Structure 1
Amino acid sequence: MRLLSPRIQYLQRPARCTQIRASSRYSNPAKRSFAGAPAQSPSFAEPSFASISGSSLEGSAEDGAREPVGARAAYEAWEEKRQYHLRRMRFAGMGLLMSIFGLAALVYNLDLDEMEQAEQKRKGQQLDAGEDSNKHFQGKEVEIIGAGEDKRIVAREPGGEVELVETGTSSVPLFPRTIYLPTSPESVPIDAAGAVDATQPNAAGNPGNIENQEEYTLLGLGIRSVSFLNIQVYVVGMYVRTQDISALQEKLIHVINERASTLIPSEKEELKKRLLDPQASREIWAELLKVPGLKTAWRIAPTRNTDFGHLRDGWITGINNRMREAKQIAQGAETKYDSEEFGKAIGEFKGIFKGGKAPKGSVMILSRGPTGTLDIWFQAKSGASGQKSMQRLGSVNDERISRLIWMGYMAGDKVSSEPARKGVAEGCVTFAGRPIGSAESRVV
């Protein structure tokens, strides 16, 4: 039994808790070499008490010194692994959100008409303004006369015909070359619902009589797009009252040559360059908007379903951009847009667009009167029963509102629609290339 006593003592010792290490000691090059004593055969001789107690104390001291270090290393390894997985979860979450937003933008920007046309092109079918998507304009049948550059597109109706121009997008393929707007809200018969009576002279169904409405001629148009995806929002075109074309011609010609009655090709190129230059365009349009009696208008046709709030926010953004430019030019001095009255005018403008939907096929018109008064008109989407009547949503008398909206499209660094600015600039050059007072008003 004495010989077995060391063995019994070893078995009766309490078991020590081993630390869970992140990696094996064999994975550490520093621990691969073992410099211990060679293994000895077991001895059944009873060791001395000093040797037993000494080895036990030495082992306990060594374990006590190594255990805290091992626990800290294990915690650090666990924390590093946890942070690694957290980072992966964050990246995965961001990727999921970006995928959802991208899919939503793709679905929002999806145009079934364009997909149908692409399918028809793939099958070899010829597409032109006379295809199904372009056969009707506001409930009226469309007819193509001629071909090539001399081609004319007209919409037939009982009271005459409306000449149309192509916009470059299948969502809103056609724009009228001329429109008719009331001379003033008081001079137009309006029913209890605030709609213009279509049975009156020169209304939508009878466009030949200008007794109570005035004719406006298209100056140029373009497409407004947003975001890096170039999502089309609406097609916008600028119109000028037909009887004011001569005044506009004279002003544009005198920008380049004060003694000329028309511009030569080199002068037309110079005019176009200035109209597209941020600084020069700001100066030109600031003077054009001061021309006495000049009346202009913007016609907006949404390319997809939207609402008044989205349209209003775009115009407010343009107003803020032009106000910021004015403050930069003033170099800290007070501008005419810092007054309390202008703030109230902004509130009036926002209040006009409370609620309301603007679906694809509807039309919004912003007209600027001789004194700068802004009138807002809306025409609902035409149905099977024919063209809807035009409703007046409201007006803002402060001319600074209409001025900043017009400048937001035509002047400065960042305009609301660069294609619209280019289209209007080309129209201005076309008008300036004709003699002042010329009866020709067609925009090429």
Structure 2
Amino acid sequence: MLCRATMRPRGPPMATRSFSSAASTLLRTPRTARTARTAPTKPSAPPAGTRTFLRPAQNDSNILDSLDVSRIARDRYNYERRRRIFLYCGALSGFVATCYTAWKIKVLLDNPIQADAAGVAASSIDQARKVVVHDKDGREIVPTGNSTVPEFPRTLVLGDLDGSTAKDAAPVSSQTIVIPNGAVEDEYTLVGFGTRTVSFLSIQVYVVGFYIATADIAALQNRLVKRVNPIATALVPSEKDDLRASLLDPAEGEALWDALLADGVPARSLFRIVPVRDTDFPHLRDGFVRAIQAKAPRILEQEAKEGASATPDFGESVKEFRRAFNRGKAPKKQELLMVRGADGSLRVVFDDGRSTGRQVLGSVADERVSRALWLNYLGGRKVASEATRKSIVDGVIEFVERPIGTVASQVV
């Protein structure tokens, strides 16, 4: 009996200890933890194969089976290729559109649209009249529209150049001859002017004006008026338009001016050239020589048909012309004159702006040289300046609309 009492466990029963342990744990755990542990969980997403309200059932196991990496790469390559093609086409179209627009603007600027008007003013000749203004000294000038050379004198007074020659092989200091102040002076009237440009960028080189001796205008009037109407003393608007079309025609205009110059009409004339940028005489000389050589075949061919034999060698005459330009710089805004005398001889005159005034640089007696040089501005398929030719033609038409023998009182 004593042994049985000794073997009995002394602690509380097992159920009692488990309940006490759970109670103590519950008392030690925070309230928030118990709340989170007992919070309801969200319902899980439906299985992959389950149909939903807005989308059909999908089987995720087939997505990877249908994935084709090669096809995806080809599709991407084709997309990038089409994208590049569209970009290249857009860039090319923009470039073409820009060039076409620039060309159309240039055409409009070169050929402005003139509004029609009633009466005599409807003629395109009258619309091209130039404005004559007076400077602060009271002299008549014509605006050129050029910022470097803003105006040309309406009339030009030039001393008598007869007897003034230059030594061909002499240096510049002794080659130039100053025109005497007491020489006989002749007045020249401006017929037309324009700006000489080169290259497709229209780089301006010089402003050129064509002058005719005032006393010789009547002879030019008579030849042109009688050519259109033998019994008239002046031309009416329709006849003026016909003459203007003939002078502007490349072939007919060149033939007309060639015949007039060969006959010495007008007897005295000159071209006044003023550079708009600093240049040199060799550069100007090369341009003039190319112009002479371009017109020489027509003149020599016509001379061969007429059987002229007592004429000097044309090549030597061109060399004489080249020697007249054996100088250095030709500053801008300085005057260069090429004067054609009554006998067809050519004299090159330059004014460097110093106190010495105009100086004769050289002369060429062969009239074919001056005629070829004149045709470079007056007629032909390709002239030195188309604007200059049109302005000269407008000036000539202004002369023929007045009675023969009267001096034009206003520049066209």
Q: TM-score if structure 1 supplies the norm length?
A: 0.57
Q: Hey, what's the Cα distance between the residues in 1 that align with 2:193 and 2:272?
A: 9
Offset of 1:428 from its aligned partner? 0.4
Candidates 300, 303, 321, aligned match of 1:349:
321
Q: Provide the residue aligned with 1:194 in structure 2.
A: 177
Whichever residue aligns with residue 291 of structure 1, its letter is: G
Candidates 147, 157, 165, aligned match of 2:142:
165
Instruction: Please tell me whether the aligned partners of residues 359 and 381 of structure 1 are also in contact (alpha carbons under 8 angstroms).
Output: no
Q: Provide the residue aligned with 2:135 in structure 1.
A: 155
Whichever residue aligns with residue 243 of structure 1, its letter is: A
Q: Deviations over 1:135-168 (max 9, x none)?
A: xxxxxxxxxxxxxx896432345xxx42110112
Instruction: Please tell me whether the aligned partners of residues 161 and 179 of structure 2 are also in contact (alpha carbons under 8 angstroms).
Output: no
Q: 1:357 to 1:257 in 2, by over 3 A?
A: same
Q: Hey, what's the Cα distance between the residues in 1 that align with 2:219 and 2:130?
A: 28
Whichever residue aligns with residue 241 of structure 2, its letter is: E
Q: Hey, what's the Cα distance between the residues in 2 that align with 1:214 and 1:326?
A: 29
Whichever residue aligns with residue 284 of structure 1, its letter is: L
Offset of 1:187 from its aligned partner? 8.3
Whichever residue aligns with residue 381 of structure 1, its letter is: G
Q: Provide the residue aligned with 2:291 in structure 1.
A: 318
Q: Hey, what's the Cα distance between the residues in 2 that align with 1:370 and 1:150?
A: 28
SS at match of 2:383: coil
SS at match of 1:185: coil
Q: Hey, what's the Cα distance between the residues in 2 that align with 1:328 and 1:397?
A: 20
Q: 1:329 to 1:278 in 2, by over 3 A?
A: farther
Q: Deviations over 1:381-406 (max 9, x none)?
A: 36xxxx76111101100111001000
Q: Deviations over 1:61-94 (max 9, x none)?
A: xxxxxxxxxxxxxxxxxxxxxxxxxxxxxxxxxx
Q: Which moved more, 1:284-293 or 1:215-224?
A: 284-293
RMSD: 3.0
SS at match of 1:367: strand
SS at match of 2:410: coil
Q: 1:166 to 1:388 in 2, by over 3 A?
A: farther
Offset of 1:340 from its aligned partner? 6.8
Offset of 1:328 from its aligned partner? 7.9
Whichever residue aligns with residue 154 of structure 1, its letter is: H
Whichever residue aligns with residue 134 of structure 2, its letter is: V
Q: Hey, what's the Cα distance between the residues in 1 that align with 2:307 and 2:293?
A: 13
Offset of 1:341 from its aligned partner? 1.2
Once the two structures are superposed, the pairs formed by residues 237-276 of structure 1 within 5 Å of their partners are 237-276=209-248
Q: 1:287 to 1:333 in 2, by over 3 A?
A: closer
Once the two structures are superposed, the pairs formed by residues 19-418 of structure 1 within 5 Å of their partners are 152-157=132-137, 161-186=138-163, 194-197=177-180, 200=181, 212-289=184-261, 290-291=263-264, 294-325=267-298, 341-381=313-353, 389-418=357-386
Gaps in structure 1 of 5+ consecutive residues? 1-148, 202-210
Higher relative contact order, chain-length normalized (CA < 8 Å, sep 6+) = 2
Q: Deviations over 1:15-69 (max 9, x none)?
A: xxxxxxxxxxxxxxxxxxxxxxxxxxxxxxxxxxxxxxxxxxxxxxxxxxxxxxx
Candidates 383, 405, 410, aligned match of 1:437:
405
Q: Hey, what's the Cα distance between the residues in 1 that align with 2:196 and 2:348?
A: 19
Whichever residue aligns with residue 323 of structure 1, its letter is: A
Q: 1:334 to 1:217 in 2, by over 3 A?
A: closer
Instruction: Please tell me whether the aligned partners of residues 178 and 356 of structure 2 are also in contact (alpha carbons under 8 angstroms).
Output: no
Q: Hey, what's the Cα distance between the residues in 2 that align with 1:422 and 1:155?
A: 26
Offset of 1:357 from its aligned partner? 1.5
Instruction: Please tell me whether the aligned partners of residues 363 and 380 of structure 1 are also in contact (alpha carbons under 8 angstroms).
Output: yes
Q: Hey, what's the Cα distance between the residues in 2 that align with 1:400 and 1:307?
A: 25
Q: Deviations over 1:238-277 (max 9, x none)?
A: 1000011111111111221121100010111111111111
Offset of 1:312 from its aligned partner? 1.0
Offset of 1:230 from its aligned partner? 0.6
SS at match of 2:206: strand
SS at match of 2:404: coil
Gaps in structure 2 of 5+ consecutive residues? 1-128, 166-172
SS at match of 2:177: coil
Quote the sequence identity (%).
41
SS at match of 2:235: coil
Q: Hey, what's the Cα distance between the residues in 1 that align with 2:294 and 2:407?
A: 37
Q: Hey, what's the Cα distance between the residues in 1 that align with 2:333 and 2:357?
A: 13
Q: Hey, what's the Cα distance between the residues in 1 that align with 2:305 and 2:265?
A: 29
Offset of 1:440 from its aligned partner? 3.3
Instruction: Please tell me whether the aligned partners of residues 301 and 362 of structure 1 are also in contact (alpha carbons under 8 angstroms).
Output: yes
Offset of 1:350 from its aligned partner? 0.5
Offset of 1:425 from its aligned partner? 0.3
Whichever residue aligns with residue 181 of structure 1, its letter is: L
Q: TM-score if structure 2 supplies the norm length?
A: 0.61
Q: Tell me how many residue pairs correspond in the alignment.
A: 275
Instruction: Please tell me whether the aligned partners of residues 164 and 175 of structure 1 are also in contact (alpha carbons under 8 angstroms).
Output: yes
